[in-house]
Amino acid sequence: MGPSMTVTELLQRIMAAYAGATNEAMKTFVPVFHARLRKHEGERLEAAAVEVFGSFKPKYDHRFPIPADFEAHLPSGKLDLGRDSGPAIRQWLSDRERRSKDAYAEWAQGQGNKIKANRPQQVYAACQHMAMELTRSGRRVTLSAEQIRVCEERALCQERVRMFGPPPRVEDTWAGQIEQVREAWRVA
């Protein structure tokens, strides 16, 4: 046999070792053995066979080992991270939430206060939202000039809708309304 056992070799060993494994009885099980154990052929199947043959005791309703008997000694194929593979999920989530809050608080104290002092409240609120999204990972963040520009555009669009209603169909009207919002922010 050797360490490269196939399902066919396993079936031959079962038929040789167990009187209940007749040709008639095995007709049902042969395709099941192949379907469920083929992916384990080789050293793993040989090791499982040693375990099963060493402990299996035939009974009236269980006259020879079936695929489930071997599968109990084979890898399941499911990912098993085990208890020692990393922090417990609750602790990990708690730590991530704390890091996220700390990173956002740091942004708010630094760049957030500068934006609040130099931009309209609506732009600051849009920047807050973006900073909250970016700090979810727990990493420190500083918004780039491009990101602040995107926040300003978002705030302008929201304020335009608040002031003028649904978006107009004519591009010139939209641009004019955006300019009116900018002017209103300068006055405020």
- In the chain (188 residues long), the average pLDDT of successive 10-residue segments reads 78 90 87 90 91 89 89 75 67 90 95 95 95 91 95 92 76 78 84
- Non-local (6+) Cβ contacts of 42 within 8 A are 3, 4, 5
In the listed set 41, 71, 101, which residue is the last one of a domain according to the structure?
A: 71
Residue with tokens 């409240």, as numbered in its chain: 121
- Rounded Cα distance between 64 and 21, Å, is 6
> What confidence score (pLDDT) does residue 74 get?
86
Total domains in the fold of the chain = 2
Tell me, yes or no, whether 183 and 94 share the same domain: yes
Which ranges in 38-144 belong to alpha helices (H)?
43-55, 67-71, 89-107, 113-118, 121-134
The answer as to whether 1 is a domain residue is no
The answer as to whether 13 is a domain residue is yes
Tell me, yes or no, whether 41 and 104 share the same domain: no
Contact (Cβ atoms closer than 8 angstroms) between residue 25 and residue 64: yes
The answer as to whether 132 is a domain residue is yes
> What confidence score (pLDDT) does residue 151 get?
95
The answer as to whether 79 is a domain residue is no
pTM for the predicted model, two decimal places? 0.50
Tell me, yes or no, whether 133 and 43 share the same domain: no
- Rounded Cα distance between 89 and 76, Å, is 23
Tell me, yes or no, whether 92 and 180 share the same domain: yes
Tell me, yes or no, whether 165 and 109 share the same domain: yes
In the listed set 25, 44, 71, which residue is the last one of a domain according to the structure?
A: 71
- Rounded Cα distance between 73 and 145, Å, is 59
Tell me, yes or no, whether 93 and 50 share the same domain: no
Contact (Cβ atoms closer than 8 angstroms) between residue 67 and residue 32: yes
Backbone angles phi, psi at 9, to 5 degrees: -65, -40
> What confidence score (pLDDT) does residue 1 get?
44
- Domain containing 48 equals 7-71
Q: Measured in whole angstroms, how far is the alpha carbon of residue 131 from the centre of its chain? A: 23
- 169's enclosing H/E stretch is none
In the listed set 71, 98, 127, which residue is the last one of a domain according to the structure?
A: 71
Tell me, yes or no, whether 54 and 121 share the same domain: no
Q: What is the DSSP letter of 61?
A: T
Tell me, yes or no, whether 91 and 138 share the same domain: yes
Angle at 11 between CA 50 and CA 58, to 5 degrees: 65
> What confidence score (pLDDT) does residue 77 get?
66
Tell me, yes or no, whether 61 and 105 share the same domain: no
Tell me, yes or no, whether 100 and 128 share the same domain: yes
Judged on CB neighbours under 10 Å (0-12, 13-18, 19+), 115 is: buried
